[in-house]
């Protein structure tokens, strides 16, 4: 009899709700909340106006510069391709000898090497821009947004290209410093500032801004993922 009473007591202590299956509405609510959570943590990136403006200005100039470098000596003064496309390089080759006959006749490979990297960077920038322009989805505000895995890849490509540009430009400046300004030291200070420091300085500022801008979105996209893994 004692055993029977104990069993009855245990049976009574079990709540009836423990055997009630989840209703369809509860399941739908759970799925909806999970979907919303997933969407809210999805990666998104929108190029800033300054980034797009920099690309619009810099890409044509870099393509022009790369063409001159990789087509030397045809693109140099006296070459069949020099006029009219690369005529301004007659002056610039006298300002910066790395672009002129001095470096070319000496077989200095630095100019062509940085020109090759220019071509690689340009392709990466075009990939980034094309992904945003053609694959970006318009938000409710009418702004094109890169999202999802493909958007994350495009954003990473844009960030990597900016790092390449900044690193190469710093190397370009350091090459002059450690060579005793061999290629630009002959210029008067005013010409040096106007024709070398300001133009080349722009390629320090623009990529640095892109690294900060795009990198901020990459970090923001990685932060929720790192938090979810740690929880």
Q: Is the pLDDT of residue 38 over 80?
A: no
**The pair of three-digit structure tokens given for residue 168, joined into one six-digit string:** 């190469």
Closest of 49, 41, 96 to residue 68, by C-alpha: 96
Closest of 77, 103, 98, 74 to residue 88, by C-alpha: 77
Q: Is the pLDDT of residue 21 over 80?
A: no
Closest of 72, 175, 152 to residue 116, by C-alpha: 72
Give me the percent of the chain exceeding a pLDDT of 90: 74
Tell me how far the alpha carbon of residue 84 is from its chain's centroid: 33
- pLDDT tens digits along 66-99: 999 999 999 999 999 999 999 999 999 999 999 9
Confidence of residue 191 (pLDDT cuts 50, 70, 90): very high
Q: Is the pLDDT of residue 14 over 60?
A: no
Report, as an integer, the average pLDDT of 153-172: 97
List all residues 6 or more positions away from 108 whose beta carbon is below 8 Å from its beta carbon: 98
What is residue 76's three-state secondary structure?
coil
pLDDT at 219: 94
pLDDT at 34: 41
Q: Structural domain boundaries of the chain?
A: 46-223
Q: Report residue 61: phi and psi, to 5°.
A: -65, -40
- pLDDT tens digits along 96-150: 999 999 999 999 999 999 999 999 999 999 999 999 999 999 988 889 999 999 9
Tell me which residue has tokens 């999202």: 147
- The mean predicted confidence, pLDDT, of the chain is 86
CA dihedral for 39, 40, 44, 48, sign (positive or negative) = positive
Confidence of residue 224 (pLDDT cuts 50, 70, 90): low
Closest of 208, 204, 203, 176 to residue 192, by C-alpha: 176
* 59 or 140, which is more confident: 59
Closest of 217, 126, 125, 110 to residue 165, by C-alpha: 125
Report whether 58 contacts 203 (CB < 8 A): yes
Residues facing 146 on adjacent strands: 45
What's the half-sphere exposure (Cβ side, CA atoms, 13 Å) at 215?
10
pLDDT at 139: 87
Tell me how far the alpha carbon of residue 61 is from its chain's centroid: 18
CA dihedral for 9, 13, 15, 19, sign (positive or negative) = negative
Tell me which residue has tokens 């133009």: 199
- 176 membership: H or E segment, kind and range: helix 148-178
Q: Is the pLDDT of residue 35 over 70?
A: no
């Amino acid at each position: 009899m004692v055993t029977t009473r104990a069993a009855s007591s245990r049976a009574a202590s079990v709540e009836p709700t423990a055997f009630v299956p989840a209703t369809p509405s509860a399941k739908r609510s759970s799925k909806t909340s999970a979907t919303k959570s997933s969407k809210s943590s999805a990666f998104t990136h929108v190029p800033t106006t300054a980034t797009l403006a920099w690309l619009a200005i810099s890409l044509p100039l870099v393509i022009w510069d790369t063409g001159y470098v990789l087509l030397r000596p045809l693109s140099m003064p006296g070459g069949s391709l020099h006029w009219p496309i690369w005529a301004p390089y007659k002056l610039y080759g006298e300002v910066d000898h790395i672009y002129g006959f001095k470096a070319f006749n000496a077989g200095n490979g630095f100019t062509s090497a940085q020109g090759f990297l220019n071509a690689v960077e340009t392709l990466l920038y075009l990939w980034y821009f094309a992904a945003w322009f053609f694959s970006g989805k318009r938000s409710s505000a009418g702004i094109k947004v890169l999202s999802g895995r493909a958007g994350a890849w495009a954003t990473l490509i844009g960030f990597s290209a900016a790092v390449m540009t900044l690193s190469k430009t710093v190397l370009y400046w350091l090459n002059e410093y450690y060579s005793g300004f061999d290629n630009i030291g002959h210029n008067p200070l005013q010409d040096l500032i106007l024709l070398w420091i300001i133009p080349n300085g722009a390629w320090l500022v623009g990529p640095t801004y892109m690294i900060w801008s795009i990198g901020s979105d990459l970090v923001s996209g990685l932060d929720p993922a790192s938090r979810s893994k740690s929880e």
